[in-house]
Structure 1
Amino acid sequence: MGWYLNTAAAPAYMDVANSNWLWISAIPVVSMVLVQAGLFLRRSWKNGKKMGLSDEQLKTGLKTGVISAVGPAIAVLAAMLALIAVVGGPVAWMRLSVIGSVAFELPAAELGVSQLGFGFGDEGITERAFATAVWTMTLGGIGWLIVAAVGTPHMEKARQKIVGGREKLLPIVTSGAMLGAFAYFVSGEVTAGAPETGSLAIGGLVMLSLLKIADENDVQWIREWALGTSMAVGLVVGIGVHMVAGGGW
């Protein structure tokens, strides 16, 4: 009963975090994302027609894209559930609709509240600390948008310059950059505790196993569902380890 009462009692700042005004403020941002998606879809359909693609080919491409989006969408949904617990529904909905990366949003929110001496899970987190977390998430994400807007037209030239005209190195450089970025985010979780380490290890093994099965049998849908499945399995394993062994080693 005591455990139930402790988990049921929401922090005071959650009244602000889930207020109607924040829901109303988040609607225009999410609506803009939906409008952009519609515009890109409409433009790609028209360009496909100009390239000589048939309606059947375009519909097949659309279907493949929708299926491919399911796995990452499940991952984002899981991230949203984690984010809702600390910053409320409206901010989680807005931030993950724009960025979609809990690997950034949660640390950014934690960094914000830490400036006022709090950590998520602490009692007495103030509305000011919550506001600082939201500003940290928002301003921190602006850099990505600016870099994408200014740097995207020059990225291919930079990548070509890095490999010095050796085309075979292009996929290696690109893959290395992605692996380095993910390794940076994961490295902090490896030694955080038994649940994190177990979740990471099992999730990684599931991902590798599914990709191997997909490659050996040439099954596209397994590739599309591999990410969401591995994250779900890793999450369940992490919860199980935490229940059995606690949060430490």
Structure 2
Amino acid sequence: MDIANSRWLWLSTLPVVSVVLFQAAIFLRRAWADGKEMGLSDEQLKTGFKTGVISAIGPAVAVLVGMLALIATVGGPVAWMRLTVIGSVAFELPAAELGVSQFGYSLGDGDISETAYATAVWSMTLGGTGWLLVSALGTPHMEKARQKLGNGKEKLIPIISSAAMLGAFAYFLTGEVAAGTPETGSVAVGGLVMLVLLRIADKRDIQWLREWALGTAMIVGLLVGVVLQVTVGSWW
């Protein structure tokens, strides 16, 4: 852990995190400029920005909690770097465990060697490279694919985009629903809270409630999952 939290490791991860922050700044500037070209007002752009920030609170809290677990196993610098780039504790922890297990260790052991630790870091880094390559090489062609699926019919494009987003969410949720009672309860209650809040916001035209709906639903869902885990456990 002295090596895992050393000054040199902090310095080596700083460039990677800086690149991610630089990308975020570029995306924000580009989004603002494109919004202007589309005819959106400053008020609409500010509302969209605020909504995005608020909606990111729930996922950010989940990543932060996972980072605490990762810090205890691979140290602060690597945890900071990996979750800045990928943001998936569900991938990083198993990848680190896979690395140290090749030398007969398990995460949490107090006598993990430097070689085993380095192997864990390489496992996390190389294992996540595929996602980055697909994003870098595939993203420029996604708009053409979307247009081709729409077959020249402009009305179909937003429908296809919405269907793809719903499919992605459904793919991730099905694994959670089948995992056990706490996960099922968390998904169900979170979804119901989201529907209720959006219905109230639309009926009474409450803009701030729309902005906080996603974050609130995620937090309520997490709390329900914890309560079910502590009280009844998992029934399957």
* Contact 2:97 2:107 survives alignment (8 Å): no
| Aligned twin of 1:61 | 45
* Contact 1:76 1:96 survives alignment (8 Å): no
**Does structure 1 residue 76 correspond to structure 2 residue 60?**
yes
* Contact 2:185 2:228 survives alignment (8 Å): yes
Identity %: 53
| Aligned twin of 1:222 | 209
| Aligned twin of 1:8 | none
SS of match in other structure, 1:165: coil
Structure 1 distance, partners of 2:46, 2:106, is: 41
- The structural deviation recorded for 1:63 is 5.5
Which shows bigger deviation, 230-239 or 28-37?
Answer: 28-37
Change over 3 Å in CA distance of 1:141–1:89 after alignment to 2:
same
Change over 3 Å in CA distance of 1:77–1:18 after alignment to 2:
farther
Quick one: which of 7, 22, 26 aligns to 2:13? 26
SS of match in other structure, 1:139: helix
* Contact 1:113 1:133 survives alignment (8 Å): yes
- The structural deviation recorded for 1:157 is 1.5
Task: Return the letter of the residue paired with 2:198.
Answer: L
SS of match in other structure, 2:217: helix
**Does structure 1 residue 138 correspond to structure 2 residue 125?**
yes
- The structural deviation recorded for 1:61 is 2.0
| Aligned twin of 1:195 | 182
Change over 3 Å in CA distance of 1:44–1:108 after alignment to 2:
closer
| Aligned twin of 2:164 | 177
- The structural deviation recorded for 1:198 is 1.6
Alpha-carbon RMSD across the aligned residues, in angstroms, is 3.4
**Does structure 1 residue 107 correspond to structure 2 residue 94?**
no
Structure 2 distance, partners of 1:178, 1:47, is: 22
Task: Give the TM-score, by structure 1 length.
Answer: 0.73
- The structural deviation recorded for 1:244 is 1.0
Q: Which runs of 5+ in 1 are unaligned?
A: 1-13
Structure 1 distance, partners of 2:67, 2:192, is: 25
- The structural deviation recorded for 1:68 is 2.2
* Contact 1:210 1:222 survives alignment (8 Å): yes
Task: Return the letter of the residue paired with 1:192.
Answer: A
CA offset digits 1:204-232 (Å, max 9, x no partner): 21122222223333333223222211111
CA offset digits 1:73-124 (Å, max 9, x no partner): 3322322212321354433332332334x3xx41343145246289988767
- The structural deviation recorded for 1:29 is 1.6
Task: Return the letter of the residue paired with 2:49.
Answer: G
| Aligned twin of 1:10 | none
Structure 1 distance, partners of 2:143, 2:220, is: 36
- The structural deviation recorded for 1:24 is 2.8
CA offset digits 1:53-72 (Å, max 9, x no partner): 79xx4476246404421221
SS of match in other structure, 1:246: coil
Change over 3 Å in CA distance of 1:130–1:155 after alignment to 2:
same
Change over 3 Å in CA distance of 1:15–1:174 after alignment to 2:
farther
| Aligned twin of 1:97 | 84
* Contact 2:35 2:45 survives alignment (8 Å): no
- The structural deviation recorded for 1:158 is 1.0
Structure 2 distance, partners of 1:214, 1:238, is: 25
| Aligned twin of 1:6 | none
